[in-house]
Structure 1
Amino acid sequence: MDLSRLRPVYEHDGPFATVYLEGRAPAEDAAKQVRLRWQALRERLEADGADPRAVDAAEAAARTDTPGEEQADGRVIVAHPEAGVVLDEHWDAALGAGDAAHWGHLPELGAYGREAARAVRALVVLADREGARVRQEVVAEQHTPETRADEEVEGGALEGVHKPREGGLSHRVIQHRAENAVSRNAQDVADYVARTADTFHPRVVILAGEVQARTAVRDALPAPLRDTVTETSRGGAHAGSSDEALTDEVLRIAERESTADAEEQVDRLRSGLGHDRAAEGSQAVGAAAEMGAVDTLLLEDGAAASREAFLLRNCAESASTLTVAPAGTGLKDGVGALLRFPLEQSTPG
């Protein structure tokens, strides 16, 4: 996760109200449930001395959805007494942590940041001989992929893409033209995918659909993008069970990519500790964050990091990234960092 996206939150001096609303399956009495849940959250904030203006702003933001939608999608909202709502984002409904409310000098964004850091950006390309369906998806842990864009891409080949079944010279010519048409359409799809990747920045490109079509698209992609490709035979061009199978495959691939990325960052941390290019523990990482030396902040999954809100603010201000290390990594105080420069170089000598 690029923590610089949280900078607007920290442009205001605290205190802040931070509210997590857990996603739940909509029920017939959804409106009543939402009212009761918000009453409980308000009471928690008021007991902590929260400014009523911040509480009112947070509640107004969450109550803009219909009760059913409000329940189905988890939310994280940060509100300031004077600035109003400074953050309003979806939050993973599958975490099962329940509703939560915090009032403090800094917003409590550890849970939100951890989920966002585990999310994987995927370009899903469902190819056939005439074009492809291309989806930009953000896949969070245990979550249905969030589709940011869904486009039908048609190739520009004028020739038919269907090969004749009988032999003969004319049929060979038609077959050759059909193969050329498939290649042309695949090139058009690959060009679209490459342009989209330049702005979407996917972690992985998932190619599905007809074997010939997806192979042609893969071969037409630029080499750097081709290195991010994973092919799958699951899913198809039609709605129904094939869509469900493809969604399951996207979730599996995203989980694999997220785990691999986290393990790679932990390996870099272990190596960097011996060469002054990494730090571990609340005190060392906090000092590095204050100097703007943190390139990547690592928070261990399942371990509450000491001074987490403080670290997130300082790292956001210096445009650090956030990675969640696997549970059991054993980071001191639950926190580590990859550094932009050795800390001793930042002090006068």
Structure 2
Amino acid sequence: MTLDALKPLLDTDGPFATVYLESGSPTEDAEHQIRLRWDQLRTQLAEAGADETTLEALDAAIMVEDITEVQADGRVLVADAQKVLMNTAWDATLGAGDAAHWADHPQLGAYLRERASSVDMLVAITDQEGAVLRRVVASQEQTLNELEREVSGSSNAPVQKPTEGAFSTIQNRSDEAVKRNAKDIAESLDRIARRRRPDVFVLAGEVQGRSALREGLSPELQEILVETDRGGAEDDGAEEALSQELGRIAAAYAEQSVGDTHGRFEQAKAHNQAVEGAEAVARAAQMGAIDTLVLHTEHPGQDEARLLAAAAQIDSSLGLVSSELQDGIAAILRFEAPDELTSST
């Protein structure tokens, strides 16, 4: 994944306040609960040296009118002495809970790990007449975000096959109606995919609808296609089955992503295009040499926040591995490592 989320923060001098509010079930006393949680974090920040201007900016961003949304979605926020620089949903699927930091660099390692281990899926639950299209951002544990729209094909002709003995022209009209509807749905999917650039396209729904739509998909969507016959949108049972299937797909994708990064890292080491350890990674960043900053899936690396900012400054990407790393941090390089880098690892 890219480190674009850090770029708006790079032109600002620290120190920064970084706040994590874990998501939870909405309650009637949401405002009171959020106030208690934020007051505790606010006190921590003040004791750490945060100025009142920063704290007041965070007050306004957290204690909003629709406070149940903050409670349900969670939040990660970054603020400097002037204003809130980042305010986005935080689901805390890693179980990190509430936290507050006052430091020279934004403490976004936990947020970026969640982003890197989540999967952006475009989901189509289709039949022969139309489809329910969803954009789902999910992890193995749960759905993080979901947007939905319905798309209907433009054909007004019936899509059901005629009974035995009926005229063949009726069957031809039925076939053409199914193809026309599938083409319309495929075009809608292509438009969404070009805009959203999903990691995975999940095709669900009835067999005939899936078959017709599959044939009309663009090569780009076919390349990321995962088809399933589990679940749908008919009732709660079907929705639950689909949700479980999406979780399975997300887990498999995340596991593959970690494996791919590990394989790239090992190959890069074999060709002298990788370094390990905070000192070597810092030198690589100064040289503009980092292609992919590599972090452990769970454990923070030494000097991680500063090195994340440095990597974002030179348009590096981020990858996760489950194997141990020196200082918990490493990098895949854009070119063969010079002697001054390898001598420090």
Q: How does the TM-score come out when normalised to structure 1?
A: 0.92
1:59 maps to which residue?
59
Counterpart AA for 1:154 = S
SS in 2 for 1:202: coil
* Cα distance in 2 between the residues matched to 1:167 and 1:77: 67
Q: Does the 8 Å CA contact 1:19/1:100 hold for their aligned counterparts?
A: yes
* Cα distance in 2 between the residues matched to 1:310 and 1:21: 22
Shift of residue 79 of structure 1? 0.8
Correspondence list, 1:238-317, <5 A: 238-317=234-313
2:150 maps to which residue?
152
2:172 maps to which residue?
176
1:191 maps to which residue?
187
Correspondence list, 1:1-349, <5 A: 1-82=1-82, 84-147=83-146, 149-168=147-166, 170=167, 172-326=168-322, 329-344=323-338
Structure 1 runs of 4+ off > 6 angstroms?
none
* Cα distance in 2 between the residues matched to 1:120 and 1:346: 37
Q: Does the 8 Å CA contact 1:92/1:140 hold for their aligned counterparts?
A: no
Q: Does the 8 Å CA contact 1:128/1:237 hold for their aligned counterparts?
A: no
* Cα distance in 1 between the residues matched to 2:334 and 2:194: 25
Shift of residue 238 of structure 1? 2.1
Q: Structure 1 residues 265 and 77 mapped into 2: Cα distance closer, same or farther (>3 Å)?
A: same
Q: Structure 1 residues 37 and 270 mapped into 2: Cα distance closer, same or farther (>3 Å)?
A: same
Q: Structure 1 residues 145 and 73 mapped into 2: Cα distance closer, same or farther (>3 Å)?
A: closer
SS in 1 for 2:255: helix
- Give me the identity figure in percent: 43
Q: How does the TM-score come out when normalised to structure 2?
A: 0.93
Shift of residue 87 of structure 1? 0.5
Counterpart AA for 1:255 = A
Cα shift readout 1:3-40 (whole Å, capped 9, x = no counterpart)? 02321112110011111111223344333222221221
SS in 1 for 2:263: helix
Give structure 2 stretches of 5+ with no counterpart: none
Q: Structure 1 residues 141 and 10 mapped into 2: Cα distance closer, same or farther (>3 Å)?
A: farther
* Cα distance in 2 between the residues matched to 1:109 and 1:73: 17
* Cα distance in 2 between the residues matched to 1:323 and 1:152: 35
Q: Does the 8 Å CA contact 2:137/2:143 hold for their aligned counterparts?
A: no
Shift of residue 157 of structure 1? 2.6
* Cα distance in 2 between the residues matched to 1:27 and 1:156: 43
* Cα distance in 2 between the residues matched to 1:316 and 1:65: 34
Cα shift readout 1:80-133 (whole Å, capped 9, x = no counterpart)? 112x00010111244332211111111111111111111211110111101211
Q: Does the 8 Å CA contact 2:123/2:203 hold for their aligned counterparts?
A: yes
Shift of residue 274 of structure 1? 1.3
